[in-house]
A = this chain, B = another copy of it.
Amino acid sequence: MKAARSDRGSQTRKLLLFTAERLFAEYGVEGVSNRQVSEAAGQSNNFAVGYHVGSKEDLVVAIVRRHAESIERRSAEMVARLPAVPALRDWVSCLVRPAVEHLASLGVPSWYARFIAQAMTHPTYRKLVFDEAFASRSFRHCHEGMFRLVPQLPEEVRRERDDMGRLMLVHMCAERERALQEGTASPRSTWESTATGLVDALVGLWLAPVTGPR
């Protein structure tokens, strides 16, 4: 009896996380209250989020963590298969493909890329997303591997290209997620070829010559 109740609690928690992810993806994390999440998940108790998950911050962290575990597992497997002397493209692949493969595994519609795109626009939630999604052991390992093969760049350019790469990855995936749901065209036919295009583009971005002002 106790197990059944705890199963139900865990199901409710999953439902709340999934509902919150979709609402945040559509309306932004700021634009949706915990009460609205509880209501949209069909909970008669308006404090269901508070009871099953916690604060808005806890909710954001729980959503990211659910996906980050699968991405980290894929990433660790890919790192284990790296050649003895990886090239820049190999490290970039290890940063891009695990996340894109995870999105592909979610089916249509998925909301995670759009959720991340929304969460990154808010100072508090951006930090939570960074700490959970971009600070995993494997992600940091690949990031460091990549930087060892990128030409010497002024610190501001290095940070800027890191931002650019992140924005390109997140928003290309968010646009593809949206296009798949809407049934509209997307440049690439599969998530896998989307990943290939992103890897090519990111290698080009990191190797681009740096000029001074015009």
Residues in A lying within 8 Å of B, measured CB to CB: 27-28, 31, 89, 93, 97, 114, 121, 123, 156-157, 159-161, 163-164, 167-168, 171-172, 174-175, 178, 182, 184, 187-189, 192-193, 196-197, 199-201, 203-214
**Cβ–Cβ contact A160 & B188, under 8 A:** yes
Residues of B within 8 A of A175 (CB): 163, 167
**Cβ–Cβ contact B123 & A184, under 8 A:** yes
Residues of B within 8 A of A157 (CB): 187, 197, 200
8 A–B contacts from the bound complex (CB under 8 Å) = A93-B214, A156-B193, A163-B172, A163-B187, A164-B172, A167-B167, A196-B214, A200-B211
**Cβ–Cβ contact A192 & B213, under 8 A:** yes
**Cβ–Cβ contact B172 & A121, under 8 A:** no
Residues of B within 8 A of A168 (CB): 164, 167-168
Could you tell me the distance in whole angstroms from the C-beta of A23 to the nearest C-beta in chain B? 11
Give Cα A83 to B30, complex, Å. Answer: 48
Which of B28, B182, B200 touches A209 (beta carbons < 8 Å)? B200
Given A157-B200, A200-B210, 15 further pairs, Cβ under 8 A: A27-B27, A28-B28, A31-B31, A121-B178, A123-B182, A160-B172, A160-B187, A160-B188, A161-B201, A164-B201, A167-B167, A196-B214, A201-B208, A203-B209, A204-B207
**Cβ–Cβ contact A211 & B196, under 8 A:** yes
**Cβ–Cβ contact A196 & B182, under 8 A:** no
Could you tell me the distance in whole angstroms from the C-beta of A109 to the nearest C-beta in chain B? 14
Q: A178-B121, A188-B156 are in contact. Are A208 and B211 (CB under 8 A)?
A: no
